[in-house]
A and B are shown apart, each in its own frame.
Chain A
Amino acid sequence: MSVAEELDCRGMRCPLPVIHLARALPGVAIGDVVRVLATDPAAAVDIPAWCRMRNQEYLGEPAEGAYDVRRRS
């Protein structure tokens, strides 16, 4: 799986990583993956929750502090 865009949100506090993800996702093609790097512990909960609310696909945490999201719509 290739990552179309990587967002470096390390050091940012929630809700900023989710806001960056929401801004970036429409910029990639449907089916592409955006990776969010975040150190805020809330990101581990809020990124999957955002995907559920926005009907995007949360792919998981491939490494600690990295969260992959596939644009579904």
Chain B
Amino acid sequence: MGGYFDAATATPLHPVAREAMLAALTDGWADPGRLYPEARRARQLVDAALSVVAEILGERPERVHATPGGGEAAGYAVAGVRRGRRRIGGTVVRSAVEHSSVIKAVGGDAVEIPVDRLGRVSADAFAAAVREPGVAMAALMSANHEVGTRQPVAEVARACHEAGVPLYVDAAQTVPWEPVPTGWDLLSMSARKWGGPAGVGFLVLRPGVRWVDPRPALPPVNIPLLVGAAAALRAVRADADRQAKRLSALVDRIRAVVPAGVPDVEVVGDPVDRLPHVVTFSCLYVDGEALLHALAREGFAVSSGSACTADTLRPSHVLAAMGVLTHGNVRISLHPGTAEADVDRFLAVLPGVVAALREEAGVSGL
């Protein structure tokens, strides 16, 4: 596990989640909608899990909805507000660097707010866009999953509030580490990002938001997954301050050491106002896919925003919106199981890996 650096996609399952899920498999098999004791036990597990999540967010449990994943939560957030505010309009104001699931959920009736070189929207531009007529809602992530840059959510939330436009915040990347910025009306998150199981997300609604549930029928609750997600979130948040500090220092080290050891590399994203565990850089003239494979041979699992690593063969929309190099791209995302020695080994190996690929392609010194 030492070289697993793709926590922003999926964090290794927290041991507490595993235990909680095993217990829930034994105890939570009954239909929670029935009236016998077995059902009551299942219902208690569901209620307890939702309460844990709600308490961490400072919300009431009935406002927390479990979903089959973070992407689904995004879809329900957008579709539900569009239904609820149909008479006002269907346009969604969103940043150019939202997660692909949000961009897909919003679709074509969108106003896209560009980002600067660091990947941050201008709060003023966002505010101006939400004041236009016909806006159903605004969508802004708490921090970017590819480059780590935090977004000015509190400032945008004030503008949305003044304009009477609900704000949906995709908090998937920050929820494991820190309290959610204030002012959101809808919030989504994904358990896989904090060491919970895959296949569980949450949509949280603040009172007063006009949201009409777009789901044709409520799906049955997967109780073990829900219980595991809540247990992992509680465990991760209990240790979040310490871990965030530790991982952020490791990211600082990567940000400093990579450009010192590798020529022609661009480390992107905000160096300071960022996620504690994510860092992204691009190596000039290097093929992203070849770089991923070479790092995998050294025992490192990373992801990339380069076109050649995507199913679509298009470069990452985040890197493109920032105007930074998209080829030779590597995203590293650390997790509580990452040891300092793992990062040291990566930093020791990377210069040789990049140099060998450049040598092979005949681009050394270009």
Contact = CB atoms under 8 A, between A and B. Distances in A.
Contact of B323 (A22, A42, A45): A45
A41 B287 contact: no
B314 interface: yes
B109 interface: no
Residue of B314, B319, B325, B366 contacting most chain A CB atoms (<10 Å): B325
Contacts of B306: 14, 42
A14 B308 contact: yes
A8 interface: no
B284 interface: yes
Contacts, number: 63
A28 interface: no
A57 B212 CA distance: 51
B307 A41 contact: yes
B326 A14 contact: yes
B361 interface: yes
A22 B285 contact: yes
A53 B268 CA distance: 13
13 contacts: A13-B307, A14-B307, A14-B308, A15-B284, A15-B327, A18-B284, A42-B326, A44-B320, A45-B324, A46-B315, A49-B323, A53-B264, A53-B325
Interface of A: 13-15, 18-19, 22-23, 40-42, 44-46, 48-50, 52-53
B266 interface: yes
A19 B361 contact: yes
A12 to B, nearest CB: 11
A65 B324 CA distance: 18
Interface of B: 264, 266, 284-287, 306-308, 313-315, 319-320, 323-328, 361, 363, 366
B366 A42 contact: no
Q: Which 7 A-B pairs have the closest CB atoms?
A: A15-B327, A42-B315, A42-B307, A49-B325, A14-B327, A45-B320, A22-B366
A25 to B, nearest CB: 10
Given A50-B284, A53-B284, A45 B319 contact: yes
A45 B326 CA distance: 7
A44 B307 CA distance: 12
B285 A15 contact: yes
A3 to B, nearest CB: 22
A4 B248 CA distance: 48
Nearest to B289: A13
Nearest to B268: A49
A45 to B, nearest CB: 5
A50 B326 CA distance: 10
B328 A15 contact: yes
Contacts of B324: 45, 49
Given A19-B285, A46-B325, A53-B284, 19 more contacts: A13-B313, A14-B306, A14-B307, A14-B327, A22-B363, A23-B366, A40-B307, A41-B307, A41-B314, A42-B306, A45-B320, A45-B324, A46-B326, A48-B323, A49-B266, A49-B326, A50-B325, A52-B323, A53-B266
A13 B290 CA distance: 13
Nearest to A26: B366
B287 A15 contact: yes
A35 to B, nearest CB: 19
Nearest to B287: A15
Contacts of A19: 285, 361, 363, 366
Contacts of A13: 307-308, 313
Nearest to A49: B325
A48 B266 CA distance: 14
Contacts of B287: 14-15
Nearest to A22: B366
Given A13-B307, A18-B327, A45 B366 contact: no
A20 B37 CA distance: 72
B350 to A, nearest CB: 18
A49 B305 CA distance: 15
A15 B308 CA distance: 9
Contacts of B307: 13-14, 40-42
